[in-house]
Amino acid sequence: MTDVQDTRPGHDPGPGTPATGAQCPVFDPHSPDLTPERAYELYEELRSSCPVSRGEQHGGYWALSRYDDVRAAAMDHARFSSTGGVYVPAVSEHRFPPIDYDPPQHGAFRKLIAPLTSAAAAKRMEPAIQATVDALVDGFIGAGRAELVEQMAIPLPLDVITQLYGLGPQHAEDIRGYSLEFLENSSGEAGQAVIRRVRDYWIEVFTERRANPGDDFISQLLQMNAELQVTDHELANMMFILTYAGHDSTALGLSNALLYLAEHPETHARLLEDESGIPVAIDEILRFHAPLHWFPRVATEDVTIADQLVRAGERVMLLFGSANRDAAVFPDPDVVVLDRKPNRHLAFGAGIHSCPGMPLAKAEMRIALTTVLRRIPGFHVDGEVERTSPLEGGGRHLGVRRLPVTW
Ligand code: HEM
């Protein structure tokens, strides 16, 4: 790991260097061929022969595919900065806190969102999550069939986040509308226009909440910010990413788990017999199909990874979706082992940017799956399933868009 060699096209890597450049397949998140199946095949090829591979598209980048390299880079925020933004290519000249920030500002933003994302906050939300799940199941159980993305995976996280914000149901519709628009236009001028409109939307909510403060996250945020003096524009950018991450990522994770269970009704009785296995199964499904496949960083100094020199200023993609299938860490990585332990998957990232919403996302997934299993055991796929294929949302998202079931 100490030899510094340059294998970019046009540079002689020298003998004994892992292949990159021309001999390696290229991970291009925007390729229309990047179906989930192709992504996993490609990751396997990259891990075995090109662990640090080069892509020249979208401004150029290195892709890290092995678990140890991905985790090490995620933990090393000093040498791998997040200030280059999460989209490749960038969607906006604005930065979105906390995800596009390094310390010390990053820590200040994480403090601001802690009242929403702490484990204690997720625990307090459990009765409300249960009530929403019960109401959603009540809505379809009599029909004997359901479409579990539109009738569970999307509305649950949306309802939970709007309740935490103290906003009414009409806001849930607005938020979903903006998120879908952004999902379809997450690059170029169209993406920027959505971001501008969402910012104005949150600034209006701040104005209203300053006039009528309540016992909700946004009121607390504005109060806490009185000391920090973050501008309303920055706070609105933070609300944008928090809300988008807060509902769409959970919807992806929940839809993947519901699809697995709908395709494997033979697992239901075992999971119901000992419900403590449900959170373990959720972690395994999150490992197997990471809802968000990668996040980028920018090297702050020259650094050598798996014998490959990465120059200061170059972009590096951390392929969490590949790390989670690395046989060096997970025996039988391409098989779902519902009681897999230990399971040190990276679906929520690692290091200072690891997902603050994990307790909330896991609580929502656990309550939804437990309730669905108890109330409609044996539910199974009945109709055409639609996956996010190729990966969507800037080439990062893996989930389900349509899941018809019956029982
Ligand atoms: C299954 C659901 C979810 C998955 C798989 C997921 C995944 C991730 C991952 C991989 C990261 C790391 C990004 C990086 O390394 O640059 C992240 C960060 C983040 N997530 Fe989540 N997330 C989920 C749910 C949520 C929820 C429910 C919220 C909010 C309530 C949330 C808010 C955030 C925020 C604000 C960050 C940025 C953190 C930082 O930069 O310090 N996520 N998420």
pLDDT of residue 18 exceeding 80, the answer is no
Residue 15 lies in a domain: no
Length of the chain: 407
Over residues 232-261, mean pLDDT: 95
pLDDT of residue 11 exceeding 50, the answer is no
In testing the pocket of ligand 1, which one of 160, 249, 315, 319 has its CB within 8 Å of the most ligand atoms?
Answer: 249
**Mean pLDDT across the chain:** 92
**Of 195 and 144, which is predicted with more confidence?**
144
Over residues 137-160, mean pLDDT: 97
Give yes or no for residue 320 CB within 6 A of ligand 1: yes
Give yes or no for residue 99 CB within 6 A of ligand 1: yes
Residue 14 lies in a domain: no
Give yes or no for residue 242 CB within 6 A of ligand 1: yes
The pLDDT of residue 368 is 98
**Of 265 and 173, which is predicted with more confidence?**
265
Indicate the number of domains in the chain: 1
Residue 106 lies in a domain: yes
Residues 164-208: tens digit of each pLDDT: 999 988 898 888 888 888 877 766 677 788 888 899 999 999 999
Cβ contacts of 42-51, under 8 Å, gap ≥ 24: 43/319, 43/321, 43/322, 43/325, 44/325, 46/319, 46/322, 47/322, 47/325, 47/326, 49/18, 49/19, 49/23, 49/24, 50/18, 50/19, 50/20, 50/23, 50/24, 50/25, 51/18, 51/305, 51/306, 51/308
Residue 5 lies in a domain: no
Q: How far apart are CA 242 and CA 238, in angstroms?
A: 6
Residue 114 lies in a domain: yes
Residue carrying the six token digits 């601001």: 112
Encoded tokens for 30: 């925007």
pLDDT of residue 5 exceeding 50, the answer is no
Residues with Cβ < 8 Å from 110, sequence gap 6 or more?
A: 98, 352, 356
Question: pLDDT above 70 covers what percent of the chain?
Answer: 94
Q: How far apart are CA 127 and CA 290, in angstroms?
A: 27
Residue 133 lies in a domain: yes
pLDDT of residue 20 exceeding 60, the answer is no
pLDDT-based confidence at residue 22 (cuts at 50, 70, 90): low
Atom of ligand 1 nearest to the CA of 290: 5
Which residue minimizes the CA distance to atom 37 of ligand 1? 99
Angle at the Cα of 234 from the Cα atoms of 226 and 221, rounded to 5 degrees: 40
Atom of ligand 1 nearest to the CA of 318: 15
Over residues 100-128, mean pLDDT: 95
pTM score above 0.75:
yes
Around Cβ 162, how many Cβ atoms within 10 Å? 23
Residue 16 lies in a domain: no
Which residue minimizes the CA distance to atom 21 of ligand 1? 355
pLDDT of residue 380 exceeding 80, the answer is yes
Give yes or no for residue 36 CB within 6 A of ligand 1: no
pLDDT-based confidence at residue 1 (cuts at 50, 70, 90): very low
Atom of ligand 1 nearest to the CA of 362: 1
In testing the pocket of ligand 1, which one of 355, 360, 388 has its CB within 8 Å of the most ligand atoms?
Answer: 355
The CATH number given to whatever domain includes residue 335 is 1.10.630.10
The pLDDT of residue 393 is 84
Over residues 376-389, mean pLDDT: 97
pLDDT of residue 14 exceeding 60, the answer is no
* Domain region containing 331: 21-406
Give yes or no for residue 243 CB within 6 A of ligand 1: no
Residues 42-94: tens digit of each pLDDT: 999 999 999 999 999 999 999 999 999 999 999 999 999 999 998 888 877 78
Atom of ligand 1 nearest to the CA of 116: 30
Which residue minimizes the CA distance to atom 31 of ligand 1? 357
Ligand 1 midpoint to CA 251 (Å): 13
Ligand 1 midpoint to CA 284 (Å): 18
The pLDDT of residue 61 is 97
Residues 295-338: tens digit of each pLDDT: 999 999 999 999 999 999 999 999 999 999 999 999 999 999 99
Residues 121-137: tens digit of each pLDDT: 999 999 999 999 999 99
pLDDT of residue 7 exceeding 70, the answer is no
Residue 93 lies in a domain: yes
Over residues 359-387, mean pLDDT: 98
Ligand 1 midpoint to CA 355 (Å): 4
Residues 344-369: tens digit of each pLDDT: 999 999 999 999 999 999 999 999 99
Encoded tokens for 278: 């449900």
Q: What share of the chain is helix, strand, coil (3-state, %, to 5)?
A: 50, 10, 40
What is the enclosing helix (H) or strand (E) of 315? strand 315-318
- Residue 399, burial from CB neighbour count under 10 angstroms (0-12, 13-18, 19+): buried
Atom of ligand 1 nearest to the CA of 164: 30
Atom of ligand 1 nearest to the CA of 291: 5
